[in-house]
Structure 1
């Protein structure tokens, strides 16, 4: 199709965050272009797990029945340090079930929902630069097979993932002194592909039997396969010096008999994840970063789909509240901090502690012996405390988060001019 030359709302990146934003904006009556560097269906390195919070967002998009038809899970089966616990999703203000759908299928379906609502899709267009009009972005320059193309816009939403090429052009900076994630996943056939629980092994061991500051997972996809992966935490001071491909092979060998794995792990892909809002420069006069591009990834489990869907929806509501003249420079970071700041702050602090050598081997056995403690851990680590929840755990989590925020030298979503210590990107 012919690439449009202008639009009201231009969204770069058609993953969950970008497609959710496009669907919301189109429903609100905006002219929307949803552009992506890939041609769909396309893959993305991800665990493919859908928490109840993500399920709730998919229901908002009218995809509840669709995702439910691809299999449900009841909660988390946590293993490690000689213990095995089956922990149901807590429910409450959120659905009491989760899911898992390969990203090749999930992202294609969410994108289709946006196009069905009236967004115009552009594929195979890689955003490489912006055109400016004073402090506003006037358009985005794309590299396509037919040469460069520019799409003019009044407002821009950037949802191009953790690396965020366009975010770097706009001034996004990733601060690596807080915890970040290093992970890899693959797919393998399994005789237990329809298991009712997602499984996490909290005692992840390396080739020399050392305990790593991370976890392994097996997520049933209900299509003959499971998503199998490993993830570890790191900081600038304590980097993760591991070989992900050899680690995932080692982990799969440990799980082979129990999960009835057949053949070799295929389609291995890895990712480096900014977490907990550890990026500055997430907004300007008429543009905003959402999802992974804004560092909206849970520091305790690497989950980002729910945040992507939520931030895509929320940014459009902010645009719609003030019309074309809404200034997002301060409003969007403030909105992100209001929704996620306290939870990200305390989660980053806990994740940083987990990178401390010898802490997990000492604390892990203690935690795994308490079902009550692990039930609380599932809720807070799984991002399952919402603003509507008023129980003791929710209140305590929010209180701890606010205290953590007050002590932060680098708060989540810091000011755009805060540059040190940081890595561009």
Structure 2
């Protein structure tokens, strides 16, 4: 095993999509980069494994486009609910017209490998447990590997250690649960429809007693005879999640067996709690910043976080010379603030089951409305889009953030 570096220009803690993206782009700019993670790769992560067109675009930027397209390619969403089934194609526009799905054990290891191939030095099995801060700047991070404790000094620090963000908490990150968050679970199941060109989502999620629940279920084809099956429920401190996710996931899986050709037992069932919509403060200091899940960059309407992770990693790598204490929260709000504000406002409405029961049947009767919803909810509006639906979404976001008692990332 090569010697662990004792210092570096850029230290990235967390080698998921956000951290690996930041490490790759920073290394490509000529910086000395260390990419550290508590796990040894390949490793698993609770996730639906779906890649939206926005995530596919970021993987294209990293040079992984052909690799992604060598896996499953999907053309859009099959939406089920309220007696209807709609096939909604990805809108395309300035983004790719297709999505994909790759298990996180494979996806994260491949993106990390890109970072290493770009020049970053990898450190595995080392958990960040503390930071040495002097004069408002992080000078070193303390790691623990087995019984060993060691420091890596750095000029700049990228914190990408996931939704719990242990290092972020050390540095002052705080999660505000008064805005909507999610509890989600996923498993793998054998299926004779693993090459289905559509990802499926059931927008009318019901419990074992038939009660309506504020959330959704999904089935994402992965090829090779398996699919990712999962459920997610939305909650706030006022309306906390009161369902047991793993039993609900089993119930949902059993209900879909005949329709989706599911067979055998659930494999690798896991669950996670997801801060969403920038519902954190303390995302940066003078020479450090949080990216991806650590910064709650997760879509409140669909639970997607891979695209935001890849994007924030790339964005931060381009701004490492800035005073990040003010520049990074401002950039996050500029990029995501309006959309996150209106998305978490809408998601909070859907935590009331009666609201979804009233609005769902209306929406599902219209391909046009649901295509619009797919674009808005799927983070598929870009700055370059100038059509009417894009303008409406941006207008709603600006109005929403002005009403927030605590805007995203504050």
TM-score with structure 1 length normalisation? 0.96
Residue in 1 that maps onto 2:380: 384
Residue in 2 that maps onto 1:337: 333
Paired residues for 1:354-365 under 5 Å = 354-365=350-361
Gaps of at least 5 residues in structure 2 are none
| Corresponding residue SS for 2:318 | helix
Cα distance, 1:71 vs. partner? 1.5
CA distance in 2, matches of 1:371, 1:227: 26
| Corresponding residue SS for 1:99 | strand
Residues 79-129 of structure 1: per-residue CA shift (max 9 Å, x gap): 000000000000000000000000000000000000001000000000000
Residue in 1 that maps onto 2:306: 305
Residue in 2 that maps onto 1:295: 296
Residues 325-368 of structure 1: per-residue CA shift (max 9 Å, x gap): x2100100000000000000000100000012411111111111
CA distance in 2, matches of 1:292, 1:305: 9
| Corresponding residue SS for 1:358 | helix
Cα distance, 1:146 vs. partner? 4.9
2:124 aligned with 1:123: yes
Cα distance, 1:133 vs. partner? 1.7
2:344 aligned with 1:348: yes
CA distance in 1, matches of 2:100, 2:370: 20
Residue in 1 that maps onto 2:40: 39
2:72 aligned with 1:74: no
Residue in 2 that maps onto 1:63: 64
CA distance in 2, matches of 1:256, 1:264: 11
Residue in 2 that maps onto 1:234: 235
CA distance in 1, matches of 2:213, 2:95: 32
CA distance in 1, matches of 2:261, 2:77: 19
TM-score with structure 2 length normalisation? 0.99
| Corresponding residue SS for 1:210 | coil
| Corresponding residue SS for 1:150 | strand
| Corresponding residue SS for 1:195 | coil
Cα distance, 1:210 vs. partner? 0.8
- Return closer, same or farther for 1:231/1:198 CA change in 2, 3 Å cut-off: same
Cα distance, 1:145 vs. partner? 2.3
CA distance in 2, matches of 1:14, 1:138: 20
Residue in 2 that maps onto 1:105: 106
Residues 147-171 of structure 1: per-residue CA shift (max 9 Å, x gap): 1010000000000000000000000
Aligned residues: 409
CA distance in 1, matches of 2:276, 2:286: 24
Cα distance, 1:242 vs. partner? 0.5
Residues 124-151 of structure 1: per-residue CA shift (max 9 Å, x gap): 0000000112100000000012510100
CA distance in 1, matches of 2:353, 2:41: 42
Q: Higher mean Cα deviation, 353-362 or 150-159?
A: 353-362
2:88 aligned with 1:92: no
CA distance in 1, matches of 2:226, 2:132: 45
CA distance in 1, matches of 2:226, 2:22: 30
RMSD: 0.6
CA distance in 2, matches of 1:15, 1:34: 10
